Amino acid sequence: MRPEEPGDRLLFTGAVRSTASAALPSTVIDIWQANGAGLYSRFAPDLPEWNLRGRIRSDADGNFAFTTVVPAPYDIPQHPHASRVLDLLGQEPHRPAHIHFKVHAPNHRELTTQVYFAGDPWLDHDVVGAAKPSLVTELRKATDTDNHGYTRRFDFVLARESNDHESHNVAVT
């Protein structure tokens, strides 16, 4: 994030654990999001190429934290073909505000998901249908003195990878 990034500051924290509740240290977490105006770097020509995109690792206890801005909801681009398809489906082009995550720990299934924010008017009308209740969290007004406008904690749980021969056993007669 640029030091002068416009928007409300957000301190986003969480932990990565296994389905057995064990901390997953050194988990790689890829993060990307739109800015406070609903624009993504690499798509908006006036934004730096890797703005609001990054990769962090969880600590020894599986915890992570990063500072960003609260993303804005946005409409997907209205190209003629996309507009026609949306019209035929009776859909509107809205995406609720969200942050993308790709979470990877050794010997665990990679998780790619998005986290949404309660109160967004487009949660029930997400054009891609990805805003599930389990992925919606509520922003909280910050009480710290580090100029964070909001805080949010969201934990991720990763399943262990399974070996093909274990998960797809078939009896042959």
Which DSSP letter does residue 146 get? Answer: S
Helix (H) / strand (E) containing 164: helix 164-167
pLDDT tens column, 119-171? 999 999 999 889 999 999 999 998 866 667 999 999 999 999 986 544 433 33
pLDDT of residue 133: 95
Dihedral pair phi/psi, residue 11, rounded to 5°? -95, 110
Q: Taking the complete model, does pTM exceed 0.85, yes or no?
A: yes
Largest CA distance in the chain: 69
The domain locations on the chain are: 9-167
Please state, in angstroms and rounded to a whole number, the distance separating the CA atoms of residues 139 and 117: 7
Q: Which CATH architecture has domain 9-167?
A: Sandwich (2.60)
pLDDT of residue 169: 31
